[in-house]
Amino acid sequence: MPTAAKVLIDGPSELIFDYSVPKEVTALPGCRVRVPLRNKSATGTILSVAENGTVDFELKPINSLIDPEPLITEKLIQLAQWMATYYGTPLEQIMRSLLPGAVRQETHSAKTRQVAELVQIPDEETLEKLSRRASRQHAILQLLKDSGPIPITELGGASVRPSVKSLQEAGYITVRNEEVRRDPDAGDEFLESKPHKLNEGQGAAYKAICHAIDASLDRKTGTEDPASSPKPILLHGVTGSGKTEVYLQAAQHCLDRGKSVLVLVPEIALTPQTVQHFKSRFSALQDQVAVLHSHLSQGERFDEWHRIRKGEAKVVVGARSAIFAPLPRPGLIIVDEEHENTYKQENPPKYQGRDLAVVRAHLERCPVILGSATPSLESFQNAQSGKYDLVGLPERADGQSLPLIRIVDMRTETRKHKGGPTILSDRLRMDMEKKLEEGQQVILFLNRRGFARSLQCPSCGHVCECQHCTVPLTYHRTEERLICHLCGYQSIVPRACPKCQDRSILLQGYGTQKVEEVLRKVFPRSRLARLDADTARKKNAVRDILRDFRACRIDILLGTQMIAKGLDFPNVTLAGILNADLSLHAPDFRAGERTFQLLTQVAGRSGRGEMEGEVVIQTFTPHSPSVQFARHHDYEGFADQEFDFRRQFDFPPFSHAALLTSKCSHERLAEFTLQNLHQRLSKDLPSGIELGVPNPAPTPKAHGLFRFQLLLKSTNPRTLSRHVQKVLAATTLPEEVTIVFDMDAYDFG
């Protein structure tokens, strides 16, 4: 019986059509194909192939295969279909995440170079003639004889091509094309590292993970046992407890079993360090470690992606989108710092990378490790309820105690230093002087870039705001511009108030640029580096700064959340948090959790070597539970009191929260559209769904669009998603209005 393929057509429309498969075409799920569509040719991806016994009419045949082999696995297709149902996102949009642009576009290809290779050596008489009449040809032959095949570019490039052509025509050499890998880590050296001896806690965690890996395989044949699907493992280890060493040894066990490993990190800033750990440990397999993140060039992404697909790379390290890496035989998935909200995709499809790791591990029937010193309350609740296995590392790997944390009440500090805002308290400044005199390093954290938070007139109170967003413009001194951190809008700095023309307009608040200026004045002899989104724009800037800091060529590292987690610098003995309140008062039920996690993670950068560490937290709310529990390194205590709050108001993890947002350049139209949807959603509302009321977003206008939000909660996320999608499909929306559905929302701004 002839076979038919279900093909998802590329493009904004959700078009899925059946096509017949010609006998000469080997069509498999995941293959890219060219098909006829409305008297034109279109490209698409095969979702499934089955016998054509369901239709009684003739199907159009597939024109040709774009790639002879599937670009994505069947398990990834299943993951995409799960995402489409759960997140209410068109399948074609998800497919664009699975297949990066560098892979989908046929204009991209592997990079090649021409290599000259010796076929035969001329006799002595011919060589003598060449040395007199064609010295360049003679030199090329001698070089190829001594060194073997050489790229033509290294022989001299275009200038030697006539000589190469003559030698090729004479039959002495041959020229072949050789594929060249565009290596993101080209030029870097990775010194071999040996496995460390595990302490008791690490050993127990390692055994639990190895048991899960082995349980997911048939011990006799080494193939997947379809009856086994191991539970996710929540690895709850305090900062510096040696989670990375457990990851490395568990990865080795997985590789020994013939499977591959996927490692996710929350920040691109952490990718170089993680790559270094894995390439140093698996030095004999360095070419089998691949990297995937958005800072790669198109060519680098193309090469790394195809190395993974072909099975040449056994270990993949990457940020959020690496969850879609086309590993043919994954045996272990590791999600480091699983609590980080950066695993949540901001733009559609709004997936949660950590949750997708759990789903993919279930589909692949392999273990997934969720590691963190401050697990998300969702994961911790799953561990307490038995859905996840909980493995703890309560002590630091080197036996050192956790750093001593001191709280500085900035209300008292401000009264003591009458005037503007105090950036460095007396306690922090004195501690920094002491540590720097002893040759130790300091990390300072402030989660606000720029020079000043805003520009405000003291006479009329006017604040310079973005023309497209309802947020103050941040002053950046290096650019001498006012910049919006939401949409990127820039404006010149006014010399007088735009409203009342008062020339005494003042800078309010401070950011990393202002702190850098102050530090250079207070510590003029210290070597200082700033790491934030502004300084990280240049390629490899993050890697270079962190490398210099590790090599002790930098004394003070000032940065935003890019330096807050996962980094390991043994010579850092002091961490300073300049303003712990920035994330505490956000209009978000997770504000307390995020603040506790941030404080704990930054504190964990200190005292990771032989010397004890100290932490200074500057705050205007010293009695906040987030601050006090972080001070005592008490995660369980914080979780218990936060659970009480969440349970009382039925917030996650005791329900799933979804956000429906309307956006439009006309405020009333955005509001009316969401009100209309609210009415439609309330009709035939399934039981168990709590429907909120439409309200302006905390940031009412962004990117030139007015925004209104509607919060929905339910213990059954699938029922909630189906109900919303059913109503949206039956509603004709105004062309000017955009509706965004965000399941398991993280950003309520």
Cα separation, 459 vs 11, in Å, equals: 54
Please tell me whether residue 369 adopts helix, strand or coil conformation. Answer: strand
Write down the pLDDT at residue 137. Answer: 87
Determine the pLDDT at residue 101.
79
Residue 606's identity, in one-letter code, is S
* Residue 125 CB contacts under 8 Å (≥ 6 apart), including other chains: none
pLDDT at residue 220, rounded to an integer: 39
Q: How many CA atoms lie within 13 A of 240 on its CB side?
A: 26
| Contact criterion met (CB below 8 Å) for 704 and 670 | no
pLDDT (0 to 100) of residue 225: 47
C-beta of residue 368 within 8 angstroms of C-beta of residue 333: yes
* Bridge partners for 409 per DSSP: 619
* Relative orientation angle of helices 377-385 and 635-649, to the nearest 10 degrees: 90
Name the token pair of 25: 């075409």
Q: Interior CA angle at 584 toward 578 and 590, to 5°?
A: 135
Structure tokens at 644: 């009480």
Among residues 747, 743, 371, which one has the least CA distance to residue 583?
747
Contact 609, 552 (CB under 8 A): no
Per-residue confidence (pLDDT) for residue 419, from 0 to 100:
62
Helix (H) or strand (E) run with residue 513 in it: helix 512-522
Closest CA to 566 of 278, 265, 184: 265
Q: Which residue do the tokens 């240049």 mark?
A: 538
What is the β-pairing status of strands 111-118 and 173-180?
A: antiparallel
Sorted by sequence, the CB contacts under 8 Å of residue 607 that are 6+ apart come out as 240, 400, 401, 402, 403, 572, 573, 613, 614
Q: Is 741 exposed, middle or buried (0-12, 13-18, 19+ CB in 10 A)?
A: buried
CA gap 477, 455 in Å, rounded: 12
CB 515 within 8 A of CB 466: no
CA Rg, the chain, in Å?
A: 30
Question: Which residues of the chain are under the pLDDT cut of 70?
Answer: 1, 52-56, 106-109, 157, 186-188, 218-228, 284-286, 418-420
Rounded Cα–Cα distance for residues 452 and 460 (Å): 19
- Whether the ω angle into residue 22 lies within 30 degrees of 0, i.e. cis, is no
SS (H, E, C) 318-332: ECHHHHHCCCCCEEE
Domains of the chain: 3-104 (3.40.1440.60), 111-180 (1.10.10), 200-393 (3.40.50.300), 404-451+510-646 (3.40.50.300), 656-743 (3.30.70.600)
pLDDT given for residue 31 in this prediction: 92
Q: Which amino acid is at 559?
A: G
For residue 27, the Cα-to-chain-centroid distance in whole angstroms is 33
Starting at the edge strand found earlier in the chain, the sheet holding 490-491 runs 474-476, 481-483, 490-491
Q: Encode burial over 491-515: b for 16+ CB neighbours within 10 A, e otherwise.
A: bebeeebeeeeeeebebebbbbbbb
Cβ atoms < 10 Å from Cβ of 158: 8
Q: So what's the pLDDT on residue 107?
A: 60
- Distance, in Å, from the CA atom of 338 to the CA atom of 358, rounded to the nearest integer, reads 11
